[in-house]
A = this chain, B = another copy of it.
Amino acid sequence: MNKPPQAPLRLGIAGLGTVGVGVVKIIRQKANILAARSGRPIVITAVCARTRDKDRGVNLNDYAWEDDPVALAKRDDVDVFIELMGGHEGPAKDATEAAIAAGKDVVTANKALLAHHGQALAIAAENADRVIRFEAAVAGGIPVIKALTEGLAGNDITRVMGVMNGTCNYILTRMESAGLPYDTVFQEAADLGYLEADPNLDVGGIDAGHKLAILAAIAFGTEVSFDSVELEGIERITIEDIHQAADMGFKIKLLGVSQITGRGLEQRMSPCLVPDNSPLGQLDGGTNMVVLEGDEVGQIVLRGAGAGMGPTASAVMGDVMDIARGTRLPVFGQPAATLTAARPARSATPAPYYLRLSLEDKPGALAKIATILGETGISIDRMRQYGHDEPSAPVLIVTHKTTRDSLDTALAAIAKTAVTTSAPVALRIETV
């Protein structure tokens, strides 16, 4: 507005990997438009990373260097501490806490930190009248935190869903398009640098689970509760599962779903079958999609790049610009002290399930399975036995709608029969 020029907003950036370098580039290249939009200059005063002597393709000479992120977080010439190191313990946590204690606002891309310590950090920040912003922590460049916390603030949120791990989606998409087995594509993804140092964070669903827990806290006004996310990774998905799903008009996606009911907070992150002509089914490669449902707005679908230098740096800059413009919100959209403790509940919403079992190739094995399912009240929509070149016979079953509890009862009974040669794969079929 027509005010006298304001003081620059001074950033200290901890972590100069892909995202950190992306943020530095934007601030160097777009100084004029950023100042025009925020009403004040945005400047970097200090940076920090593990290794100083490394060509990162960007000029860092104008900025003070710190070896220690905690020292960076406390600097008098830093207004906003930008945490791009990652990891939910150690330097990222120490420096974030130090920044808040020193009266700095915080912008972070660290989903693990928020999933594990979000409530404590939010309480600390709000007691100190500071903000923590984290658009880059969920779904990369998609402004989903903003949409949920601000745009839909007039809604009771009824459900959030999303495909939010680009690496898993890449692996599943690539398996289908190239007809390659999981192990081969997993190795490709590793060679391409798509996997976290601990790949279980990706393929085990943990990273996506972190993101779901953060969205659920905002959506339902509950304390972040990552520990109660029902997690299931994609490691056991075979190329046969993908082909069988495709034959029935479905794709397999690592899908997160959270909703709150009278029974409590449901959060699950698991591979599911979704219709291949649905928006989720058509999501290929590293793209993310988040679905937000509110009692007033209905269903909002957001799609975009879930990772990468530009998209993630774009999200960090959205937060920086908000702080520069004076936007100040509670961390999770309402004061952390007013968030209720999450009461976890297993999903009771019935759904059809895809089951793949490996049966001993002996007479009566299939009959035992069918009997158990019938006794558990699970009716079979279709069943197919295929392939016989192995000692065990793979059997595909699609059930009519049933609850996860009924299914687990049946699977436990099946395990006791000893007619299966390996643990069954059970995938929920979502028709959203």
From A331, which residue of chain B is reached at the shortest CB distance? B1
- A333 in contact (CB, < 8 A): yes
**In the complex, are the beta carbons of A335 and B300 less than 8 A apart?**
no
The interface size of chain A toward B, counting residues with CB under 8 Å, comes to 67
> Is residue A285 contacting chain B, with contact meaning CB distance below 8 A?
no
Q: Is A236 an interface residue (CB 8 A)?
A: no
> In the bound complex, do residue A328 and residue B330 qualify as a contact, i.e. CB atoms below 8 Å apart?
no
* Chain B residues within an 8 Å CB radius of A142: 300
A207 adjacent to chain B (CB < 8 Å): no
Q: A150-B143, A320-B154, A326-B326 are in contact. Are A37 and B334 (CB under 8 A)?
A: yes
Q: Identify whether the interface residues of A are mostly helix, strand, loop, or mixed.
A: mixed
CB of A143 within 8 A of CB of B154, answer no
Answer whether residue A406 sits at the interface, using C-beta atoms and an 8 A cutoff: no
Question: Which residues of B are found within 8 Å of A330, using beta-carbon distances?
Answer: 1, 37, 39
- Least CB separation from A154: chain B residue: B317
Whether B303 pairs with A297 at a CB distance below 8 angstroms is no
Most buried by B among A1, A3, A330: A1
Copies of this chain in its oligomeric complex? 2
- In the complex with contacts A279-B303, A328-B326, A154-B321 CB distance below 8 A: yes
User: Which chain B residues lie closer than 8 Å to A305 at the CB level?
Assistant: 297-299
* CB contact list, A290-326 vs B, under 8 A: 294-305, 308, 310-311, 313-318, 320-322, 325-326
A90 within 8 A of B: no
**Would you call B334 and A36 a contact (CB within 8 A)?**
yes
Residue from A142, A296, A301 having most chain B Cβ neighbours under 10 A:
A296
**CB neighbours of A135 from chain B (8 A):** 151
Say which one of A26-34, A47-55, A109-117 lies at the interface with B.
A26-34
Closest chain B residue, CB of each to CB of A327: B327
* Beyond known contacts A33-B221, A143-B146, A326-B327: 10 more, CB 8 A cutoff: A1-B129, A1-B335, A33-B156, A38-B153, A142-B300, A151-B315, A153-B318, A299-B304, A300-B304, A302-B302
- List 30 A-B pairs, Cβ < 8 Å: A1-B129, A2-B127, A26-B154, A30-B154, A30-B156, A33-B156, A36-B221, A36-B334, A135-B151, A142-B300, A143-B147, A143-B151, A146-B147, A150-B327, A152-B314, A152-B318, A154-B317, A154-B320, A155-B314, A277-B277, A279-B303, A296-B310, A296-B313, A297-B311, A297-B315, A298-B308, A301-B302, A325-B327, A326-B327, A327-B327
